[in-house]
Each structure stands twice: as C-alpha cells, then as structure tokens.
Amino acid sequence: MLQRPRKVTRALGGVAVPAPFFRFPGLGRSEAAEKYLESQGIIIWSADVIPDDWKQISPEQVVQRSLDGLRRKRRGILLLHDIHERTAEALPILLGRLKSAGFHVVHVVPVAPNRPKTATVQTQWMLRAEENEADPSSPTE
C-alpha cells in the first residue's frame, strides 16, 4: 500500500493511513496539484450538485435545491457543508425525501486487505451525455 506523505498524516491528527480521497476547497484545482495527488495514489472528488447551502437560505431551500439538482442529473455527488445549521436541519428531511424518490446514499471507503474493491462497470459511475439525459433509452448520435 502506498504510504501517505507525513504532512497529510500530521494534518489528519496522526492517522497512519488516511483515506486516499481529496476534494479541492472551493472546487478550485490546478493541473500541478492533480498530478501530485495522482502520484500519491489519492483520488480527487468533485461534486455534481451544489445547492449553495453556505448562502443565507432556509433548510427547505437546501432540500429543494439538492433534490432539483439530483433529479435533473438522476444521480450524483451532493456537496453539503456540515458546519451550517441550515444544512444540519435540512439533512433529515433531505434523506427522507431522497429515499422516497428512490435515491441511494452510499458510503465510499478505500480498499483494504479485509475490504476488497467493489466490482463495478463504467456505466455505473459515468454520467450519460447531456443530450441523452432526458431519455436514457435514446441512442447516441
């Protein structure tokens, strides 16, 4: 297993092997940073739906913006900020509505000796072309 840089380990409070996942703050990125993270075996995460929960909006608006974005894409990574009270208040409502709408929340964990890689196919994690999003059965031109 690839050993993490000491700076990362120290920043995480001494955890020997932190999860190899990273999200750029503010979703800012640079090619140099991406290449470095890749060289360290760290997977870069982004977001598909950003409901702007850091803005002065109500918990119900957080829920509605989240659902609207996920419904539009039919799946995706939702970016929420747990430091905001409105997000904490919205979460139980949002989780209930996601379940009712047939969405599934997944917990992503790194591969480990006692936890093998989950077998997937590319179509499970790639979004369809935007022109086909309205009708997933329509052929690609």
Q: What is the pLDDT of residue 54?
A: 93
Interaxial angle between packed helices 59-73 and 85-100, expressed in degrees from 0 to 180 and rounded to the nearest 10: 40
Q: What is the pLDDT of residue 20?
A: 85
Do 69 and 101 contact (CB within 8 A), yes or no?
A: no
pTM summary value: 0.67
CA–CA distance, 44 with 57 (Å, rounded to integer)? 29
In degrees and rounded to multiples of 5, residue 6 shows phi and psi of -60, -35
Please list the rounded mean pLDDT of every run of 10 residues in the chain (141 residues): 61 68 88 91 90 95 96 92 93 95 86 76 56 41 35
Q: What is the pLDDT of residue 96?
A: 96
What's the per-residue H, E or C state across 65-120? HHHHHHHHHCCCCECCCCCCHHHHHHHHHHHHHHHHCCCCCCCCCCCECCECCCCC
